[in-house]
């Protein structure tokens, strides 16, 4: 079991890191196939060991993260992501799951390309464009209306004059426009975009709408949200076309999985000739009336799936291997490559993960290598080409010292990664500061990685507590290159505001290994202040839902270090809040808070309504019934989950009983 726990935690760490780079920074680290492979491995392990599912698992996450520079807008209905299929067998399994829910009912599918861009929700009121909102984290998106209005394929007014009309789709940049944009950026000595998806995301998030207008974004619309108006997805698309929306012409009705797979192959053959990037195909039930019947998981609808295309593989020369060090001290190896075109983009760098990855594959500097890319992110070196030149090259040896501070690297027992354990390593310090000020941690605006590096190099900051002493250096900061009086004023105000954050923000920001955002919230909610967390025993921590032995040991170990205890004391003296304050909408109910719920069957309102309600009370909503499940909220036609809950003796609640429990 120990190895399983370690494997799950490793997968979660990687997936959360990759997701942050992809959705927030628009600087992806791995390709789609690597991410999907790891995610599917995690899903499989969690289905086998549901007691190990935690709130911070990527499998519980809906989508990306909301950027701070735009106003947030709450989606009327969550914008969910899709589960993935990679072959015909996966599609058949998808169909089998549908049959379990709607046996003996006829249905067909609608198959359309999966556009590689940025998801958008368009809201029209009385026929006029009211809002353009990104998916964000699935619940709250970014209001990018001013930029959406510059997209020529999106009408500012439509013929449907209903009070509220919502249409969803994908904003993208054509291959041609992408090439033009990167050529111009090279001329301006600017960093080029990695791919059209990143370029589209970066454009839609420009504060200056004139920049968005100059880049000629485009959009395909594919989802009319008012299901009561039409019975099928295909009919709703025809309606979108009558309102002058751009609808993809490759969409097709298929009567069974065999036809679905055939049409996928047809689209795949046309992929390279298309004027826009696609990374797969979306398959969904065509009949709207069946959506609620088939239902949803916490992350995605069960009535739709994304068929992901296989990774494209190319050959090129490996010029060099270099390493970087992260905030935890973990060493990551990367490849510098001769430029090669993969999936429409020029690739010059790739991930090599860790030393074991390179050694096991015997990858050598100066040799030819195979590189794969799923069409959208920084690729991975798969293997060397063992040609006549290969065996004359020197075998690569792992680095023994940190690339930044030159301290001896160490390995944690049972892990493949090397670590720099020097607490004074400059890169670790800078990355730790970057993490502390990030949105999910203390949320201090104005402290980008470049500013942090300047502050560190000029000896203004070396620990997180130094951030709260920057007001002493106000004039020096103003004189610092490109800071300026207004920027410094805003920065110091943001630092002061952050002092009042609830405990979970601080606790996450401390960067304790294995403590993610959700775990930090769980611990803050459970113990209310940092003093209690710092004195809690390993055994007590291990008993907390979503914590477990690895996180418990990590937390206990962190507080045994004198330097860390002194940091907490200093932050307290600097008037940083150390108490759990709760968040907006959080309610307390001893019967529900910190309990785990599974929702099944048909209820009076969509499942997401009850999920949101439960989470307001601090409950955890999971998809699988296990011995650790506290309650099953069961509606009509509950099915196999109800049977399993009855066998395990789980508390079963009807909708009426649940509402009575919360006093509504």
H-helix segments, 482-604: 485-498, 503-509, 517-527, 530-535, 538-542, 548-560, 562-573
Neighbours of 536 (CB within 10 A): 18
Q: Is 191 labeled as ligand-binding?
A: no
Please check if 556 is assigned to a binding site: no
3-state secondary structure labels for all residues of 13-66:
HHHHHHHHHHHCCCCCCCCHHHHHHHHHHHHHHHHHCHHHCCCCCHHHCCCCCC
Tell me the pairing of strands 140-142 and 72-74.
Answer: antiparallel
Q: Which of 114, 246, 302, 620 is catalytic?
A: 114
Q: Is the dihedral of CA 440, 445, 449, 453 positive or negative?
A: negative
Residue 405 labeled ligand binder: yes
Q: For 377-408, what is the HEC assignment?
A: CCCEEEEECCCCCHHHCCCCCCCCECCCCCCE
The token pair at 33 is 């196939």
Q: Is 112 known as a binding-site position?
A: yes
Query: Is 284 a known ligand-binding residue?
Result: yes
35 is in an annotated binding site: yes
To the question of whether residue 160 is assigned a binding role by annotation, the answer is no
Instruction: Say if CB 295 and CB 302 are below 8 A apart.
Output: yes
Any residues with CB less than 8 A from the CB of 661 and at least 6 apart, and which? 589, 591, 592, 653
197 is in an annotated binding site: no
Residue written as tokens 């950027």? 67
Verify whether residue 469 is a known catalytic residue. Answer: no
Tell me the CA distances in angstroms from 580 to 149, 494, 543, one per residue in order: 41, 20, 20
Tokens of 178: 């992408």
Cα 346 from Cα 215, distance rounded (Å) = 20
170 annotated ligand binder: yes
Asked if 390 contacts 384 with a C-beta cutoff of 8 angstroms, the reply is yes
Residues 6+ apart with CB under 8 A from 258: none
In the numeric block, the tokens 């008037």 are attached to: 575
**Residue 33 assigned ligand-binding role:** yes
C-alpha distances in Å from residue 403, one per residue of 328, 332, 409, 456: 14, 10, 10, 18
Measure the CA–CA gap between 491 and 476, rounded to whole angstroms.
14
Q: How far is CA 403 from the centre of its chain?
A: 29
Give the catalytic positions in this structure: 114
Q: Report the binding-site residues for NAD(+).
A: 32-36, 81-82, 112, 135, 170, 284, 308
Binding site, by residue number, is 32-36, 81-82, 112, 135, 170, 284, 308, 402, 405, 420, 425
- Residues annotated in the binding site for Zn(2+), as ranges? 402, 405, 420, 425
């Amino acid at each position: 079991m120990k190895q399983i726990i370690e494997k799950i935690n490793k997968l979660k760490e990687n997936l959360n890191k990759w997701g942050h780079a992809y959705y927030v920074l628009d600087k992806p680290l791995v390709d789609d196939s690597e991410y999907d492979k790891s995610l599917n491995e995690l899903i499989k392990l969690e289905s086998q060991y549901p007691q190990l599912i935690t709130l911070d698992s990527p499998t519980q996450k809906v989508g990306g993260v909301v950027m701070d520079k735009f106003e947030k807008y709450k989606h009327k209905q969550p914008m969910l992501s899709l589960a993935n299929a990679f072959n015909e067998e996966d599609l058949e399994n998808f169909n089998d799951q549908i049959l379990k829910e709607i046996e003996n009912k006829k249905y067909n599918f609608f198959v359309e390309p999966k556009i590689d861009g940025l998801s958008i929700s368009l809201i029209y009121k009385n026929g006029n464009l009211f809002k353009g909102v990104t998916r964000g984290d699935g619940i709250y998106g970014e209001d990018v209306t001013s930029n959406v209005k510059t997209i020529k394929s999106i009408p500012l007014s439509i013929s449907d004059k209903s009070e509220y009309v919502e249409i969803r789709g994908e904003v993208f940049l054509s291959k041609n426009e992408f090439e033009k944009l990167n050529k111009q950026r090279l001329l301006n000595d600017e960093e080029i975009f990695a791919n059209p998806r990143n370029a589209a995301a970066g454009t839609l998030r420009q504060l200056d709408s004139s920049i968005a207008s100059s880049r000629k974004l485009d959009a395909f619309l594919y989802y009319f949200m008012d299901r009561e108006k039409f019975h099928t997805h295909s009919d709703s698309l025809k309606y979108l076309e009558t309102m002058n929306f751009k609808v993809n012409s490759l969409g097709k009705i298929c009567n069974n999985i065999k036809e679905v797979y055939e049409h996928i192959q047809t689209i795949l053959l046309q992929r390279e000739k298309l004027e826009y990037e696609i990374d797969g195909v979306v398959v969904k039930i065509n009949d709207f009336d069946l959506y609620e019947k088939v239902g949803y998981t916490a992350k995605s609808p069960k009535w739709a799936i994304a068929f992901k295309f296989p990774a494209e593989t190319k050959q090129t020369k490996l010029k060099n291997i270099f390493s970087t060090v992260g905030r935890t001290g973990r060493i990551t190896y990367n490849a510098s490559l001769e430029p090669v075109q993969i999936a429409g983009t020029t690739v010059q760098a790739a991930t090599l993960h860790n030393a074991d990855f390179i050694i096991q594959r015997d990858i050598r500097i100066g040799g030819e290598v195979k590189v794969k890319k799923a069409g959208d992110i920084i690729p991975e070196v798969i293997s060397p080409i063992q040609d006549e030149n290969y065996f004359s090259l020197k075998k690569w040896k792992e680095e023994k010292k940190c690339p930044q501070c030159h301290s001896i690297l160490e390995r944690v027992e049972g892990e493949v990664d090397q670590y720099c354990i020097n607490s004074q390593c400059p890169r670790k310090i800078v990355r730790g500061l970057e993490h502390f000020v990030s949105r999910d941690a203390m949320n201090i605006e104005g402290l980008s990685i470049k500013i942090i590096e300047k502050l560190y190099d000029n000896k203004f900051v070396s620990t997180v507590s130094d951030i709260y002493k920057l007001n002493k250096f106000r004039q020096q900061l103003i004189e610092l290159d490109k800071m300026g009086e207004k920027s410094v004023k805003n920065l110091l105000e943001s630092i002061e505001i952050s002092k009042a954050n609830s405990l979970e923000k601080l606790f996450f920001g401390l960067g304790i290994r294995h403590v993610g955002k959700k775990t930090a919230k769980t611990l803050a909610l459970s113990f209310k202040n940092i003093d209690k967390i710092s004195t809690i025993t390993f055994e007590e921590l291990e008993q907390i839902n979503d914590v477990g032995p690895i996180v418990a040991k990590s937390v206990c170990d962190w507080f045994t270090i004198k330097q860390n205890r002194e940091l907490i004391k200093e932050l307290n003296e600097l008037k940083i809040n150390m108490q759990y304050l709760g968040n907006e909408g959080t309610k307390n109910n001893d019967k529900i808070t910190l309990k785990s719920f599974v929702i099944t069957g048909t209820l009076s309102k969509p499942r997401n309504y009850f999920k949101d309600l439960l989470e307001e009370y601090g409950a955890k909503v999971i998809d699988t019934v296990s011995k650790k499940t506290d309650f099953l909220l069961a509606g009509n036609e509950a099915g196999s989950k109800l049977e399993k809950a009855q066998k395990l003796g789980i508390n079963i609640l009807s909708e009426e009983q649940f509402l009575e429990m919360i006093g509504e």
